[in-house]
Amino acid sequence: MRLVERAAWGAPATSPAAYLPSARGVKVHYLGSAYSSRAHSLCDDYVRKIRAEHLANAKENYVDIAYNAVVCEHGYVYEGRGLHKRTGANGNAELNGRDYAVCALLGSSGFTEPPDAMLAGLRDAIEWFRANGAAGDWVGGHKDGYATACPGAPLYAWVKAGAPRPGGTGGGSDGEDQYTVRAGDTLSGIARRLDLDWRELAKVNGLSEPYTVYVGQELDLPESGGGTQAPPYPGRSAFVLGRRHQAVTDLDRQLVRLGFTRHHDGNGYQPGPLFTAYTRRNIADFQRSRPELSNDPDGYPGPVTWELAHTLRR
Ligand SMILES: [Zn+2]
Ligand SMILES: [Zn+2]
């Protein structure tokens, strides 16, 4: 776990919040406001801003940041009130005494799809409360037992699935082209071991400085020349505007790899399961770039678009 202790992000070392002997479990939250994806170097600032806003909230009369932990999109776990401290975030005194509260730096608009690194960080936080904070097995969302949209549909779906560590179970059909990060791994170490170029490995996975990888993260491996195979075409029903499908995330990764990311909501184009108008326009750009596809650039991937998106080298 990448824990950022209170003192490291600029809070007093110990929270003045009330003692919590044990908890039923952990409630997951999101910000519930607009948020944009940002470089990790700006995450500390944002956590400080949350604490300042909570301290300034006269109605709630908070003694500290309300959450026990905050997790950024890069998978770092910021110590909030921390272990054995009663949260202020769950809605009322009874709920605050029942469960810990962990908040994802995820918006209700802008940056709304939790990336795998964030899910791994949330999972780290949950396991931290269980192992060191006497939290029980229960895991839920803020909305469980309280009238709120928090933690938002994409994150709540993950919570209801049992808050699984990404890459641990289920999902992709392309296991042979992936590597699951283990404890002690670094990007350059993995690249060396698998005889790959680390820059290529970073590019395929959309990583930029500081090139951090997380235990449990699944890295897509760069294709090594000819003979690359696309996974089976999932069918047109996987690509419906406004609907989610794992194949959309997969295709998005190829669009990012190939550089077709011009259309986005202002916060950059991110792989995710939702087929949006941006997805469609980026796919249309890709189709226009290929002679095989350019006479029908409708933005909906058929078998040829699917195949080429997976097998073309940049
Ligand atoms: Zn909440
Ligand atoms: Zn971060």
125 shares a domain with 30: yes
Ligand 2 center–CA 35 separation, angstroms: 13
Q: Which ligand is located closest to the Cα atom of residue 151?
A: 1
Q: Which ligand is located closest to the Cα atom of residue 103?
A: 1
Determine, yes or no, domain membership for 75.
yes
Please tell me the least confidently modeled range out of 82-86, 222-226, 272-276, 300-304.
222-226
58-90 in b/e form (b: 16+ CB < 10 A) is eeeebbbbbbbbbbbbbbbbbbbbbbbbbbbbb
Ligand 1 center–CA 152 separation, angstroms: 9
Determine, yes or no, domain membership for 128.
yes
* Identity of the residue numbered 295: N
What value does the mean pLDDT take over residues 169-187? 63
Q: Is the pLDDT higher at 248 or at 294?
A: 248
Q: Is the pLDDT higher at 284 or at 191?
A: 284
Say which CATH number the domain at 296 has.
Answer: 1.10.101
Determine, yes or no, domain membership for 228.
no
pLDDT at position 292? 84
Task: Tell me the C-alpha distance between 160 and 141, whole Å.
Answer: 8
Secondary structure of residue 78 in the 3-state scheme: strand
Ligand 2 center–CA 47 separation, angstroms: 10
Ligand 2 center–CA 49 separation, angstroms: 14
Secondary structure of residue 244 in the 3-state scheme: strand
Ligand 2 center–CA 41 separation, angstroms: 7
Determine, yes or no, domain membership for 227.
no
pLDDT in tens, 236-276: 999 999 999 999 999 999 998 888 999 998 888 888 999 99
Determine, yes or no, domain membership for 231.
no
Task: Tell me the C-alpha distance between 168 and 163, whole Å.
Answer: 11
Determine, yes or no, domain membership for 134.
yes
Determine, yes or no, domain membership for 226.
no
139 shares a domain with 186: no
Mean of the per-residue pLDDT values of the chain: 90
For 56: left if phi > 0, alpha if psi spans -120 to 50, otherwise beta; the answer is alpha
Cβ neighbours for 51, distance < 8 A, ≥ 6 positions apart: 11, 64, 65
Give me the domain span that covers residue 191. 175-220
- Please report which confidence band the pLDDT of residue 112 belongs to, taking 50, 70 and 90 as the band edges: very high
> Is residue 185 a contact partner of residue 213, using CB atoms and an 8 Å limit?
yes
287 shares a domain with 245: yes
Ligand 2 center–CA 294 separation, angstroms: 39
Q: Is the pLDDT of residue 168 over 70?
A: no
What value does the mean pLDDT take over residues 76-104? 97
Q: Which ligand is located closest to the Cα atom of residue 72?
A: 2
Task: Tell me the C-alpha distance between 28 and 153, whole Å.
Answer: 12
Ligand 2 center–CA 77 separation, angstroms: 9
Ligand 1 center–CA 288 separation, angstroms: 43
210 shares a domain with 142: no
Determine, yes or no, domain membership for 25.
yes
Please tell me the least confidently modeled range out of 49-53, 67-71, 200-204.
200-204
Q: Is the pLDDT of residue 121 over 60?
A: yes
* CB-based neighbours (< 5 A) of ligand 1, an ion: 29, 142, 150
pLDDT at position 179? 83
Ligand 2 center–CA 25 separation, angstroms: 25
> Is residue 278 a contact partner of residue 284, using CB atoms and an 8 Å limit?
no
